[in-house]
Amino acid sequence: MSELVLLLFVALLALIVALFTVPFLRRNIVSKLALRVFRKLLPKISQTEQEALDAGSVWWEGELFSGKPDWNKLLAYPKPTLTAEEQAFLDGPVEQLCAMLNEWHITHERHDLPPEVWQFIRENRFFSLIIPKEYGGLGFSALAHSEIVMKISSRSNTAAVTVMVPNSLGPAELLLRYGTAEQKNYYLPRLANGTEIPCFALTGPEAGSDAGSIPDTGIVCRAEFNGQPDVLGIRINWEKRYITLGPVATLLGLAFRLYDPDRLLGNEKDIGITLALIPTNTPGINIGRRHFPLNGVFQNGPNSGKDVFIPMDWIIGGQDKVGQGWRMLMNSLSVGRSISLPATSVGAAKLSAWSSGAYGRVRVQFKLPVGYFEGVEEALARIAGNTYMMDAARVMTAGAVDLGEEPSVISAIVKYHLTERSRQAINDAMDIHGGKGICLGPSNYLARTYQQTPVGITVEGANILTRNMIIFGQGAIRAHPFTLREITATWDENKKRSLQAFDAALTGHALFALRNTFCSLAFGISQRLIKTIPENVTSETVDYYRQLTRFSTAFALLADVAMMKLGGTLKRRERLSARLGDVLSQLYLCSATLKRFEDDGRPTADLPFLHWSLQDALYRTQQALHEFLLNFPTGKITRCLLRFIVFPRGLRCQPPSDTLSHQVARLILAPGEARDRLTAGMYLPTDKDDPLALLQEAMASAIACEPIEARLRQAVKDKTLTTQEDEQIDQALAQGIISEGEAASLAQMKVLRRRVIMVDDFSPDLQQANHPSEKAVV
Ligand SMILES: Cc1cc2nc3c(=O)[nH]c(=O)nc-3n(C[C@H](O)[C@H](O)[C@H](O)COP(=O)(O)OP(=O)(O)OC[C@H]3O[C@@H](n4cnc5c(N)ncnc54)[C@H](O)[C@@H]3O)c2cc1C
């Protein structure tokens, strides 16, 4: 009897092994069954979703999804660098432009850029950074584009947005990709030299985040146009809002849904989203009114069109491109999103780091620079650590674009995380500056950036949506090594090809999941088992590569578990999707930071920045995985099992220590190579009366005077010097406690400090200002 049971058991085992290892059996039994289940579970992907999924390319995030990132590959990507011509543009026209910008005058007095600034921007072809030289543009790299926007944004958000928008998703980008030769030859030179001011209108009152649902319509018809009878064209009606540069635009890029009820173009009645370029002086267009976006006075406003007739050759790409607008937009989105908002976010963060470090050293309370207090150190460290990591991600992502990538998932990661970290940095900077940050006026170098922060959060995919829906939702399909193959195979109409492709993808996926389960547990027990670390890294960083590999493996496993358990409903389980997206994002930000450290030549002085940002991000990664497991809808046993596989030794990552935060804060509280590298590329004014130049001078003076002040304090303690501060310098000089030169330095420092800490005040009607520089007294 027992022999029979044994035989049956062996036969069953052999059958199971055969089912999975003999291709014919596996394909026709296991995969066939699974395919049926997939067809039931997987929602059919709409054309709009398919186009979004197909857009862009997969780059480093594919490695992070693989569970075993190839770090040598990351470090072998070339270090992004500027050409001599690009550097000269930054040192020349960009510096000149920044020197012309006075954000208080722009935002409070003029409510626009001054005419000479508009003219300078046009003449120096700032609108043509992405337009190739053959069309009269500057034809710059993504890195140069990013550096230019970053520098301008550290000076004026209004100017940065004005320069950024024509170089991002808009008429130029769309023409370059899809325009007919005629359209390119006509419009690109005019856009390059500023003859045309472009804008692009997608959003309307009823379609914001859900932009694919725009209700604006175009009807194919025949009409008289420019004196010609019976021209084939489109009659469009639309209502748009929030359109940047719209009020001053001469050329409107417009998205609308095209219908052909009389079948003049073919058999389709509902042709789909279509893009056209329309001169704004075309009859029927109502444009020119402005919105007032949070005191930012970049041109932005609504526009509408009533029965506007356009000929077919105004469609971007001509008649052949009708109905392809959504795909065109999605394909173009990733490049601009990889550059513009990351650049403005880093500009704001650098301004926060630079000014908060200096102000923290100049502003004294309780007889100490406020930056020395532990509470302020915490905020300073957060600003510096965030800025270091953000800048690393900005540069690496721009570098990817320069390598020819169109990284759609990464563009969403940097859009979300850099704007959020920028928000954190500017909030911290405002706290450190206290009332100095709050009182508006020409001496306030922070408040407009603070006020403008939500703009970056809202545009190009509002942040809640981007985090909860896009990053993991798109990553899971695009960057996962097998999902897209499985989905494509599931919906392949050719049954034989569908089964074959599905079988290959499913087998690969099963082995992938097994490996990740085993490795996640093994690496959680001992990270020493991880062998895929790059060659020649230092002892300072080697453990970070190990931890990242470990989290990448756990992430790949949990991504599969989530997709298996929740299938198509994962799309609606946004909070779970957000946490997995957070893990993927932190892994990307950490990768960029390690690469930056290597590309910079491993500067020892930067190590505190590196350690702080990596430790903070690894801790966030761990917490995201932990919260995912806590909230994952499953039974207690499965949850415990998953938890054991991912965290066999518990939650071991810690946030940066107070000691490390102290070291980081000290690095930005004084001039030095690490502070300079951290804030490199932001605009530093040369006019000595500029509030930032004054702050720089006051910081140097405060530091130089600290030993002298210490001597005075000691003398007060020893009761050899009066406690009356305004008499101390003279008395100390008379008693020989300080030299004449030191007395002069102290007096000068007090003037500078006073000028820095003072804020503007106004007449009761807020019309006439008194500026601190005019009131400075010792
Ligand atoms: C200053 C400024 C400039 C702009 N410039 C342009 C431009 O030049 N051209 C242009 O076409 N558009 C432009 N926009 C529009 C911008 O892209 C939209 O504001 C954006 O798409 C969000 O739309 P909404 O403001 O209507 O927010 P809503 O769509 O109403 O969203 C409200 C909130 O709900 C969240 N949300 C929505 N759906 C989901 C979801 N499924 N899951 C989770 N959260 C969700 C959003 O994240 C957001 O937090 C601009 C907007 C502003 C404010």
**CA proximity to 414, closest of 334, 357, 479, 349:** 334
Cα separation, 442 vs 250, in Å, equals 32
Q: How far is the CA of 204 from the centre of ligand 1 (A)?
A: 10
pLDDT band, very low/low/confident/very high, at 778 (cuts 50, 70, 90)? very low
The gap from C-alpha 758 to its chain's centroid, in whole angstroms, comes to: 34
Per-residue pLDDT tens digits for 619-635: 999 999 999 999 999 99
Neighbours of 444 (CB within 10 A): 20
Report how far residue 727's alpha carbon sits from residue 745's, in angstroms, rounded to the nearest whole number: 15
Predicted confidence (pLDDT) at residue 151 exceeds the cutoff of 90: yes
668 pLDDT more than 60: yes
Q: Is the predicted pLDDT of residue 352 greater than 60, yes or no?
A: yes
Q: What is the pLDDT of residues 57-83, one digit of tens each?
A: 999 999 999 999 999 999 999 999 999
Task: Compute the distance between CA of residue 688 and CA of residue 694 in angstroms, rounded to an integer.
Answer: 6
CA distance 617 to 320: 47
Please give the residue that has the higher pLDDT: either 374 or 569. Answer: 374
For residue 639, is pLDDT > 80?
yes
pLDDT digits 0-9 by tens, 692-749: 999 999 999 999 999 999 999 999 999 898 878 888 899 999 999 999 999 999 999 9
**Lookup: tokens for 690:** 């500029």
460 is catalytic: yes
Give the pLDDT confidence score for residue 1 in this predicted structure.
55
Residues 364 and 370 sit within 8 Å (Cβ to Cβ): yes
Give tens-digit pLDDT for 382-406: 999 999 999 999 999 999 999 999 9
Please report the DSSP string for 177-246 in residue order.
HH--HHHHHHHHHHHHTTSS-EEEE---SS-SS-GGG---EEEEEEEEETTEEEEEEEEEEEEEEEEETG
How does residue 186 score in pLDDT terms, banded at 50, 70 and 90? very high
Q: How far apart are CA 134 and CA 421, in angstroms?
A: 38
Q: At what angle do helices 325-362 and 658-668 cross, to 10 degrees?
A: 90
Record the pTM: 0.95
* Burial group, residue 136, by CB count within 10 angstroms (0-12, 13-18, 19+): middle
Q: Report the C-alpha gap between 167 and 572 in whole angstroms.
A: 34
Which one of the listed residues 239, 460, 486, 742 is annotated catalytic?
460
- 213 C-alpha to center of ligand 1: Å? 13
Statement: residue 568 has pLDDT above 90? no
The partner residues of 769 in beta bridges, in order of sequence, read 762
Two structure tokens written together for 281: 């002086």
Partnered with residue 199 across adjacent β-strands are: 252
Ligand 1 contacts CB of residue 107 (under 6 A): no
Question: Could you tell me if the CB of 207 is within 6 A of ligand 1?
Answer: no
Are residues 678 and 391 in contact, defined by beta-carbon separation less than 8 angstroms? Answer: yes
* Over residues 660-674, mean pLDDT: 98
For residues 406-430, give the mean pLDDT: 97
- Using most ligand atoms within 8 A of CB, pick from 157, 161, 200, 209 the residue to mutate for ligand 1: 209
The 3-class SS string of 499-518 reads HHHHHHHHHHHHHHHHHHHH
Letter string b/e over residues 452-488, b meaning 16 or more CB atoms within 10 A of that residue's CB: bbbbbbbbbbebeebbbbbbbbbbbbbbbbbbbbbbb
Closest CA to 253 of 176, 352, 157: 176
What's the gap in Å between 212 CA and the centre of ligand 1?
12
How do 251-259 and 198-201 pair as beta strands?
A: parallel
The chain-wide mean pLDDT, for the chain, equals 94
Average pLDDT over residues 414-440: 98
State which of 107, 157, 203 you would mutate to test the pocket of ligand 1, scoring each by most atoms of that ligand within 8 A of its C-beta.
Answer: 203
- 156 is written with which tokens? 């004026």
Distances (CA, A) of 156 to 147, 169, 231, 578, 693: 14, 21, 46, 32, 16
* pLDDT for the residue 775: 47
What's the token pair of residue 332? 């173009």
List, in sequence order, every residue forming a beta bridge with 243; answer none if it has no partner: 301
Would you state the pLDDT for residue 773?
Answer: 56
In this structure, what token pair is assigned to residue 710? 């210490």
459 CA distance to ligand 1 centroid (A)? 6
> Which is nearest to 553 in space by CA: 518, 588, 595?
518
